[in-house]
Structure 1
Amino acid sequence: MPQLNPSPWFSVMLLSWLILLLIIQPKLLSFTTTNQPSNTLPTTTKTTSWTWPWI
């Protein structure tokens, strides 16, 4: 069963991880977010309960 032989596939896996970590990841992390996070706390609105007419 050739699929159990890790020799040809280990180098492919290692190369793909190196490409991901060294080339693709820095390019993805360099993108800036469109909405910068703010330090303000979200405001909570006071909601009133619904009065059901059949109760």
Structure 2
Amino acid sequence: MPQLNPNPWFFIMLTSWLTFTLILQPKLLSFTSTNPPSSKTPTTTNTTPWTWPWT
């Protein structure tokens, strides 16, 4: 069965993962986030239940 031969595919997978982790990932992680998390405490809103007219 030729699918079980890892000879060309393992090298391609290894090369692609190394390319991603060593070249592309640091470039992508260097971008600053457009919406950074804020240090404010979350506010809770007080909601009132809906009054249904038929109950």
Structure 2: stretches of 5+ with no match in the other structure: none
Q: Whole-Å Cα distance in 1 between the matches of residues 5 and 36 of structure 2?
A: 48
Task: Let me know the Cα RMSD of the aligned residues.
Answer: 1.0
Superposition TM-score, scaled by structure 1 size: 0.87
Q: Whole-Å Cα distance in 1 between the matches of residues 46 and 35 of structure 2?
A: 26
The one-letter amino acid paired with 1:17 is W
Runs ≥4 residues deviating over 6 A: none
Superposition TM-score, scaled by structure 2 size: 0.87
Structure 1: stretches of 5+ with no match in the other structure: none
Identical aligned pairs, as a percentage?
A: 71
